[in-house]
Amino acid sequence: MVTQALPLRRFARAALVFAAGLGFISAFSACDKMPLLAPGGSVITIFPASTTVPINGEVEIVATVIENGTTAAPPTTPGNGNGNGQQPGQQPTTTTGTSTAGAGTPVQNGTLVSFTTTIGRIEPREARTQNGEVRVRFMAGGQSGTAIITAYSGGASGRSEGLKVGTAAVERVLVTASPQTLGPAGGTATVQARVEDVTGQGLSGVPVNFVADAGQLSSSTVTTDPGGVATTTLNTTRQTKVTANVGGKTADVTVGLNPRTGVTITGPTTSVPAGTPASFTVNVGSTANVQNVTVNFGDGTTQSLGALSGSTTVPHTYDEAGTYVVTASATEASGFQETVSTGVTVLPGQPPSIIVTPSNSNPSVGETVILTAQVSGNTSTIVRYEWNFGTDATPPSATTTGNRATAAWGSTGTKVITVRAIQATGPSGEGFGTVVVKP
């Protein structure tokens, strides 16, 4: 009996040692699989590739994770929205939940970052950093609203609150009809609603609800196309007002019947900036005996066109932003008068952008340099350019009607040239350039 028990006891001890070893290996393996998270003091900054996204659209989200850093700048090559409504030049709005001054070093590659959003979804919900950066996609789904996206890793978090989805991004609606005036017996007109964001860019994938007070619409709910335009057709035998509604923002257009004078007026199909001329086309029937046509531009300004027998174009510049109703009243020889109208939306005037380009950016002392002011943006007529070349320049300043001026400098160093462009109407614009004068 003794000789049999001894091997059993040795076997049991060996089994216990083996089991303990397995437990240690299992624990070590579990530790090895623990996710790598951002260390304390890290900063997470979120950059949506666009500030708007259509319903069921998507947009790339870039998050940077900086160890012992401050809020990061937008990545130099953010992903695009893949047709999701991203506009050129737009900068996303980003807020962060942590901020610590320091060196600003990207976290270790493979750091796990998790994402949440108040609407829509993030794919994937977790991603690992590469050079301190992760890229995921926001999938909008069918709900409109402002998405609040949060990224977190360890004790660090960052949040973006500026991504507007669907109708939440709508700033204004513009409605047009073609033709806006039908024949005496009525007919068919194409009605279009352009949906714009605050910058004037069209929003795609947004549902527009149309309502007509007479006649029949081919579709009462239409989704905007890639240009932000929703189109329906009106068939009517009487004057009809069609109203477009997008997320509480409304606009309307009236489709009338051809009057005895045959007068019509059409204006810009998109919004125009204040200070920039808007063109209106006035037309009367070829057989009508029209003695006078008066145009009221809706801003307190009227213009008499006199006797009219065809079509003419009338420009008008608005000084202030707003929505204006423009009417054309035609009076025929018998005294019968007909009035038609159209609408125009005027955006706030923006100063032009100016860049000064020298013919030689590294001239010698006393060498004459030709300076050119390159103007961009919506501008009216520029009446003059006011130049400042510096106190040691010859001349120190100048005023020109063209966009070029010349100057020379009497000392070495970096010289700053400033120019101000004065418009006939609208705000002035300013720009600058530099030259480095060598001995």
Cα angle: 123, vertex 48, 55; to 5 degrees: 65
**Percent of the residues in the chain that have a pLDDT greater than 90, as a whole number:** 56
3-state SS, residue 225: coil
| CA 433 – CA 419 distance, rounded (Å) | 9
pLDDT in tens, 414-429: 999 999 999 877 778 8
pLDDT in tens, 262-290: 899 999 988 888 878 899 999 998 888 89
| CA 290 – CA 233 distance, rounded (Å) | 31
101 confidence band (pLDDT: 50, 70, 90): very low
3-state SS, residue 168: helix
Residues paired with 247 in a beta bridge: none
pLDDT in tens, 399-412: 999 999 999 999 99
Q: Is the pLDDT of residue 30 over 70?
A: no
| CA 39 – CA 71 distance, rounded (Å) | 16
Task: State the residue for tokens 């005496």.
Answer: 184
Say which residue, 5 or 214, is predicted with more confidence.
214
Bin 295: left if φ > 0, else alpha if -120 < ψ < 50, else beta.
beta
Burial status of residue 172 (CB atoms within 10 A of its CB: 0-12, 13-18, 19 or more): middle
Look at residues 145, 99, 151, 147 and name the one whose alpha carbon lies nearest to residue 126. 151
3-state SS, residue 351: coil
pTM above 0.75, yes or no: no
Instruction: Give the amino acid at 264.
Output: T
What is the dihedral sign for C-alpha 242, 245, 246, 252?
positive
38 secondary structure, DSSP code: P
pLDDT for 130 equals 95
